[in-house]
Amino acid sequence: MHTSPLSPADALRWYIAAGVDEAIGEQPVDRYALSAKPAAKAHAAQGGVPAAPQQPEPASSAHLAMAATNLAELKTAMEAYEGCNLKRTCQQTVFADGDPSARLMIVGEAPGADEDRLGLPFVGASGKLLDRMLASIGLDRTQAYITNVVPWRPPGNRKPEPAEVELCLPFITRHIELVDPAVLLLLGGASVSALLARTDSITRLRGGFIDYSSPRLSRPIPAMPTFHPAYLLRTPLAKRDVWRDLLLVRQKLDSAP
């Protein structure tokens, strides 16, 4: 049987007669959440303990690093950062050593026990070998700037985990931008993979320069990947390869504007 549709007024009267007293919107409404708010207010009014205010999220390493306009501010930001578990097990932040105006910047992996104790990078057995490496091309610590990708010592001198390197990457990126060296010397697999985003082994990457770029650098920086001094202490035969790499670094320094 065909019936004509109700007019809007008739439909409204029908809804009222049927007991409909509320319209349903297109978006769902959490009635439990709405009812909980008056209950919480009443509980507080009756002397209940109010919920603690929500704490703001700690600043990320990227935010802290990008806000630094000089090396002193960057060091302060790193010392204030609490997002990396390594900071809870080390003695101190190992920032850098050498001359920040030097044309050669050396980046290692992470501090060891001696570095953590003294607060300077490359001061143990690896550091003494690095000093001899620099001397072989006519340089010393006063003519280079030395730091690490990770500024906090991993427990037991283990290699830093990829997640730990990722957290520290904004700091070393900003560190390089602020120093703005002519040449980078990257020591060890962790520094190479972090800064150059390359998964090849040092054995395959060393022997030539790879451009390093970041948003706040005016031009790419030639970077030489090579073996870490700690590896050379265990594998003395690899020193001849590093010697060739260092000669290329010396040539690049001499020819760079």
CATH of the domain at 98: 3.40.470.10
| Residue 41, in any domain of the structure | no
With 90 as the cut, is the pLDDT of residue 170 above it? Answer: yes
Counted residue by residue, the chain has a size of 257
Which region among 12-16, 153-157, 241-245, 253-257 has the lowest average model confidence (pLDDT)? Answer: 12-16
pLDDT tens-digit readout, 2-40: 556 667 777 667 666 666 666 666 666 665 565 555 555
| Residue 77, in any domain of the structure | yes
> pLDDT band at 151, cuts 50/70/90?
very high
| Residue 34, in any domain of the structure | no
Residue 23 Ramachandran class (φ > 0 left, ψ -120 to 50 alpha, else beta): beta
| Residue 219, in any domain of the structure | yes
| Residue 227, in any domain of the structure | yes
Q: Given this model, what pLDDT does residue 5 score?
A: 66
Q: Given this model, what pLDDT does residue 12 score?
A: 67
| Residue 26, in any domain of the structure | no
| Residue 113, in any domain of the structure | yes
Q: Given this model, what pLDDT does residue 20 score?
A: 62
The model's pTM is: 0.77
Residue 184 CA to residue 108 CA, distance in Å, equals 11
Which run of H or E residues covers position 106? strand 104-108
> pLDDT band at 43, cuts 50/70/90?
low
Q: Given this model, what pLDDT does residue 9 score?
A: 72
| Residue 98, in any domain of the structure | yes
Which ranges in 26-156 belong to alpha helices (H)?
31-45, 61-67, 71-80, 86-89, 113-118, 125-135
Q: Given this model, what pLDDT does residue 257 score?
A: 76
Share of the chain above pLDDT 70, in %: 79
Name the residue range of residue 161's domain: 63-255
pLDDT tens-digit readout, 196-249: 998 899 999 999 999 999 989 999 999 999 999 999 999 999 999 999 999 999
For the chain, the domain total comes to 1
Q: Is 139 helix (H, G, I), strand (E, B) or coil?
A: coil
Note whether 172 and 147 are within 8 A (CB): yes
Which run of H or E residues covers position 224? strand 221-226
Q: Is 105 helix (H, G, I), strand (E, B) or coil?
A: strand
Beta strands 183-187; 210-212: pairing state: unpaired
